[in-house]
Amino acid sequence: MNTVIKVNSFISILLLFSLFTLFNEVTAIAIETRNLNKTNDYCDGFHFKSPKAGDKLHLGNNFTVVWKKGNSKIDEVNGLDLYSNKTGKFVKTLWKGSKKFGADGKASVDVKVEVPKHTQLPADFMFKSWASTQKGPSCFRVSGNFTIIDIII
């Protein structure tokens, strides 16, 4: 019976060693493959050119929002949302569509600066925008903080 225990122990140790070696190799391969699929490259350099942090936008006026493609693989910008800087909450969608980048690597849209009624102005806001690629992920970017001020007549 002592021999049976030794054989069972040997087989158990051999089995555990085999499983450990198998999973150890799989983990190394999975990590290496994940590093090769750098999804950040899709969005690299995509950013807002305007507005710039600290800009003052006048309520009711049109404003040209400009994006720069950078080294990203994105093909088009798909939307522009306004967020409160104070609360971080969604305020309003100002534009939704499809805007391709020009040969200069820029895309732009004109939007009317709007906020919901009864919004206390001046107030700080930021834009959140998303863009898409043909081969995969969408890219999201947030602008610098800017202030919307009421037009004084």
Whether 1 and 17 share a structural domain: yes
φ/ψ of 93, rounded to 5, equals -85, 125
SS3 144: coil
How many domains in the chain? 2
- Does 108 share its domain with 131? yes
- Tell whether 20 and 32 lie within a shared domain: yes
pLDDT tens for each residue of 24-42: 444 333 334 344 344 456 7
124 plus 87 within the same structural domain: yes
Q: Please indicate, yes or no, whether residues 65 and 17 belong to a single structural domain of this protein.
A: no
Helix (H, G, I), strand (E, B) or coil at 136: coil
Is the domain of 139 the same as that of 79? Answer: yes
CATH of the domain at 134: 2.60.40.10
Per-residue confidence of the chain (153 residues) as pLDDT tens digits? Answer: 577 677 677 777 766 656 555 544 443 333 343 443 444 567 888 889 999 899 999 999 999 999 999 998 889 999 999 999 999 999 999 999 999 999 999 999 999 999 999 899 999 999 999 998 877 778 999 999 999 998 765
**Residue 107 shares a structural domain with residue 121:** yes
106 and 56 inside one domain: yes
Number of H helices, E strands in the chain: 2, 9
Judge if 15 and 86 occupy the same domain. Answer: no
- Distance (Å, whole) CA 31 – CA 39: 14
Residues 61 and 74 in one domain: yes
Residue 71's domain comprises 40-149
pLDDT in tens, 42-55: 788 888 999 989 99
Let me know whether 33 and 87 are in one domain.
no
Same domain, 66 and 26: no
